[in-house]
Amino acid sequence: MAACVATLAACGKDGADAGSGAATPPPVTVQAAEGVQIDLHVPDSLAFGRAADVGATVANRSRAPVSGARLQVFIQSPIEPAPDSTPAAPGAPPAAAPTRTAAAGGTLLTWALGMLAPGQSAAFTQRVRLPASARPADTSAVALVVRATVVGADGRALGPAVEDTLHPPTPTAAACGAGDAHVMRYGVGGVRLGMPAEELRALCPGARDTAWTAEGTREKGIAFPLAGHVLLATLSGDTVARVMVRDSGLSTPAGVGVGSALGDLRARYGGPCAAMATGDVVVWFPAAPGIRFALGAKPPEEWGGGHDDPALLPDTTRVTRLWVRKGPDDCPAPSAGPTSQEGAGR
């Protein structure tokens, strides 16, 4: 592997192996309090026996230089770093390969960032592969975690980690019984957004069709058991558009779910966006894309007219339900007027 100090687009593959069938969605971004921004580029799936590129860009958005920091990227097993096969971009200065350290559940890759002047950025890419010998049955994980963090010279994190998931291509029947299934960007356990309804019914024995009316709109879905919980998949046409979790016990890889305090979410994901949707206060985080959290709180009196300031929400309010959906994860502009149900991820 060769690190690439440039932009990821210049690193050759733009995050995906040409023969892997993996597409790279928009990056997950988190900006730390100290002004260090991380963009994480992860393909949304990876075939067994194939390779793809995982990348991270670190930018200094502060007014002071950042020195002595390190970028750490954790990749969950059975994903593994591939042999040196990703060339640096033409004209890019050579950079040292990361150090590789065995970590609980995977591998930790560490790059020294050196000195980052204000406005300067550095980007790194690592070829990873999913061994042909690995199968979902070999591990209870049906979505594999990639996590990036920037730490200072003293080892202290300079802000929240940014995290995304990578999926093996074929879920198995075990996906609905996995005891450690997580709520992630592209689904819950082995149930994924965009999955045909018929595939979900076949994947999860006990799944049943249901329908309801929400604010005058007739909706249909499938209630299904997963890891001892009953979840609800909302259908768009005949494919899964949203997966709802209403009880505790299922969480994100960061360990938050129904019953978690907003303060816990802020500690793990940084600052949230917020809006009203179907009568609920809803928050979401650019550092946890695809996931919406409904809170058991009344909207602050100051809210309204598109000025739904999440800073007014107390840390003690708790999550009452969460769901996974596709769509933008940016915070609405204050001047945009009242946030729509769709924009809040209804």
DSSP string, 169-205: S---GGGGT-TT-BEETTEETTEETT-BHHHHHHHST
Architecture in CATH for domain 8-166: Sandwich (2.60)
Higher pLDDT, 339 or 153: 153
Instruction: Give the angle subtended at the CA of 172 by the CAs of 169 and 177, to the nearest 5°.
Output: 130
Q: Average the pLDDT over 313-336 and give the result.
A: 85
- Cα–Cα distance between 330 and 7 in angstroms, integer? 22
The domain locations on the chain are 8-166, 173-245, 262-336
- Cα–Cα distance between 45 and 200 in angstroms, integer? 18
In angstroms, what is the C-alpha Rg of the chain? 20
Chain centroid offset of residue 87 CA: 27
Contact 165, 25 (CB under 8 A): no
The reported pLDDT for the residue numbered 26 is 58
- Cα–Cα distance between 274 and 178 in angstroms, integer? 32
Sort 65 into a burial class: Cβ within 10 Å, 0-12 / 13-18 / 19+.
Answer: exposed
Q: Average the pLDDT over 283-307 and give the result.
A: 87
- Cα–Cα distance between 288 and 291 in angstroms, integer? 6
The reported pLDDT for the residue numbered 17 is 36
Higher pLDDT, 277 or 319: 319
Residue 79 has pLDDT above 80, yes or no: yes
Reading the block at residue 74, the tokens are 């954790």
The reported pLDDT for the residue numbered 27 is 61
Q: Which residue has the tokens 């840390």?
A: 315
DSSP 134-161: --GGGSS-SSEEEEEEEE-TTS-BSS--
| C-alpha to C-alpha distances, 58 to 55, 61, 136, 140, 328, nearest whole angstrom | 10, 9, 32, 32, 22
Residue 197 has pLDDT above 90, yes or no: yes
Q: Any alpha helices (H) in 204-329, and if so which ranges?
A: 262-269
- Cα–Cα distance between 213 and 41 in angstroms, integer? 38
Q: Any alpha helices (H) in the chain, and if so which ranges?
A: 197-203, 262-269
Residue 220 has pLDDT above 80, yes or no: yes
DSSP designation for 318: B
The reported pLDDT for the residue numbered 35 is 79
The reported pLDDT for the residue numbered 43 is 83
The answer to whether the pTM exceeds 0.75 is no
Q: How many helices and strands (H and E) does the chain possess?
A: 2, 21
Higher pLDDT, 46 or 269: 269
- The identity of residue 328, as a single letter, is P
Length of the chain counted residue by residue: 346
DSSP designation for 261: B
